[in-house]
Amino acid sequence: MNTSPPSRRIWTIGAAAALLVGSACSEEQRRDIEGGAIRSVIEDATEDALDDEGIGIDDLDCEADIDDDGIVTGSCDGTTDDGDDIETELLGTVDVDEAECDAILTVTVADDLIEERDGFDCLDGESELFIVEGDSAGGSATLVGFPTR
């Protein structure tokens, strides 16, 4: 069950594309863009894991961060329809330049393990939210389009 409205993802994609097209991307900006993509992936993975178990979600808030050394952390906190606590934790490494990520993802409800995935691809294709031609580092990139899913 994906409770995220499609318009939120479109606005996120549009903002990321505008950032890449409008100026040269620094390492920090690329980490911020990838962090947003990772947040979306762990939110979707949490929703899918709970949906597979027939567990409804009342609310879910997720975040993700990539530090200067390429360590990625992420989490989701929320409650089920029955009022139980939902916790998702992500820890791994990410190569922003190569758009590669390898992490461990765990999803628990009321302290019961629902899913644990080692080798979790925390970008899951989300790093290709937009297609850019040219040299984005040199500020001469052109937005070509959005891939279809």
Q: Phi first, then psi: give them for residue 64, nearest 5 degrees.
A: -150, 150
101 versus 20: which is more confidently predicted? Answer: 101
Does residue 58 fall inside a structural domain?
yes
pLDDT of amino acid 28: 72
- pTM, full prediction: 0.67
- Which bin fits 14, alpha (ψ -120 to 50), beta or left (φ > 0)? alpha
Provide the residue range defining the domain that includes 124: 6-145
Number of domains in the chain: 1
- 97 in helix, strand or coil? coil
- Model confidence pLDDT, tens digit, residues 38-79: 898 999 999 999 999 999 999 999 999 888 888 999 999 999
The percent of residues above 90 in pLDDT, for the chain, comes to 44
- Model confidence pLDDT, tens digit, residues 105-147: 999 999 999 999 999 988 774 433 333 344 444 444 433 333 3
Does residue 83 fall inside a structural domain?
yes
For residues 73 and 62, the answer to whether their CB atoms sit within 8 Å is: no
Contacts of residue 37, defined as CB under 8 A and 6 or more positions apart, other chains included, come to 16, 123, 126, 127, 129
Whole-angstrom distance, CA of residue 64 vs CA of residue 4: 16
For residue 15, name the pLDDT band (cuts at 50, 70, 90): very low
Does residue 1 fall inside a structural domain?
no
pLDDT of amino acid 24: 58
Does residue 135 fall inside a structural domain?
yes
Whole-angstrom distance, CA of residue 66 vs CA of residue 15: 19
Whole-angstrom distance, CA of residue 79 vs CA of residue 146: 33
Mean pLDDT computed over 87-97: 90
